[in-house]
A and B are shown apart, each in its own frame.
Chain A
C-alpha cells in the first residue's frame, strides 16, 4: 500500500467536502431564515414564522439576504456536485442503495443498534438521507427560479405546475430541508465524532 492511499484511508472527509459542507450550511441557514421572513409577508397557510427566528428585519431586507445567499448556495452546490461526481465519491459513498438494505438499516437505527464503526462508510439510511437532501436542494433551486423568473423560464414553470404551485413546492421542499437539518443535527449530537470528522477531516 502506498503512502498516499494510506493517507486517504485515514481521511474521512477530504478538504473540499468539508469546505463545501460548511459553506452550504451557512447558505441554507441564511436562505431558510430569510425565506421565512418573505413567507411572513403573505403567508400561504394559516401561520407565520416568529419574527425572532427570521432574518432580514423586514421584507426588503429579507429579500436582499435571500437573493445574495442564493449565489453562494448555487455556486457552492455546483462545486460540491462536480467534485463529488468527478472524484468518484458520489458513486463510491452513496451506491449501491437498495430498499432492502435501507429497511434493514432503518430498523437497526430505530433499535439503536446501527453500527458506526467506520465513519468513512455510510449506512443505507445515511446514503438515502444525503441523496434526498441533495435532490431536495435541487428542487428548492428549481422552484425558486420559477418564483424569481416565472416569465423567463417557461419550461421550468410549466414543469412545476405554474407560479402558484411552484410557490407551494418551494415551501414543502423547505420544510423537508428543515426536517433533514433537525434529524442531521440530532444524529451529530448522538455521534459527536462525526462533527470532529467534518471539521478536521479525520
Chain B
C-alpha cells in the first residue's frame, strides 16, 4: 500500500513537471499554430469588420478623400493614349448592370435631350441638331472597374463645345446624367471639359448601336467604364453632389484613370 502511494505521488510530480516544462518552453508547433492563426485571424476579422457600419463609414470617408486626391492628380490637358484602328477590340464587349437583350430600344426621332440646372439655354436637343454640331473621333482604351480593358472607336460632339454652346455654368462642380435604362451618374466639371470627353453618337464609324448606348453616350477615356453613361436622356449642371447608380452603392465617385 505504502509503495503504491509513493509511486502515485511520483507519477503526479512527473506529470506536473512535464506540464510546467511544456508551458515554460513553447514548442515550435505552438509557434507555427500561432503565427498561422495570426494570418487567419486578420482575414476573419477583415470579413466580419466589413459588415460593421462604422467600418463602412470610415471606408466611405477614405473614398471621398480619394475623390479629392484624384481631382488634384487630374491634368485637364493630359490626353489618354490613342491607338491605331488595327488594335480595336472586336467584338467590343457589352457591359451594363443588365443583360445585353435588355438594353433599351429608343426611337431616335422621338428622342429629346433634356437640359436642366445651371444652364442658360435649356431647350431640348434633337439627334439631328447634335449631329449638325462639329464632331470628333477617337480610338481609346475603355477600362472597366473590374480590371479588363478594351479598345474602341467613338465619334461625336466634344462635350466642352456643347456645354459652352448651351451656356452651362463652367464653374459649377458637377454634371449629372439620367439615362433611359434608369442608370444615372455624375462627373466633375474639369473632366466634363477635357478635350477627349465626347457625346458619342457613333461607334466604329456607324450610328451608335443599341447595346453601346443609342442614341448618345458620354465617352471619357479618362474615366472608368461605369462613369461613361449610355442612352442619356437628360443632362444637368449643379453644385449639389448628385451621386450615381454604382457610386451610391460604394464605387468610388471620381472613378478616374
Contact = CB atoms under 8 A, between A and B. Distances in A.
A and B held together in a complex: yes
Interface of A: 26, 29-30, 33, 38-39, 41-42, 44, 53, 55-57, 59-61, 63-65, 67-68, 71, 147-152, 154, 157, 163-164, 167, 181, 185, 188-190, 192, 195
Contacts of A57: 47, 50-51
Contact of B147 (A41, A53, A188): A41
Given A42-B144, A56-B50, A151 B43 contact: no
Contacts of B251: 60, 63
Interface residues of B, number: 45
A151 B250 contact: no
Interface of B: 26, 28, 31-32, 34-36, 39, 42-43, 46-47, 50-51, 58-60, 62-63, 66, 70, 73-75, 78-81, 141, 143-149, 221-222, 246, 249-252, 256-257
Contact of B31 (A164, A181, A192): A192
Q: Is the interface of A mostly helix, strand, loop or mixed?
A: helix
Nearest to B150: A164
A166 B114 CA distance: 41
Given A147-B147, A164-B149, 18 more contacts: A29-B42, A30-B42, A30-B46, A38-B147, A41-B145, A42-B147, A42-B148, A55-B43, A55-B46, A57-B47, A61-B59, A63-B145, A68-B58, A154-B78, A185-B36, A189-B28, A189-B35, A192-B31
B78 to A, nearest CB: 6
Contacts of B46: 29-30, 33, 55, 65
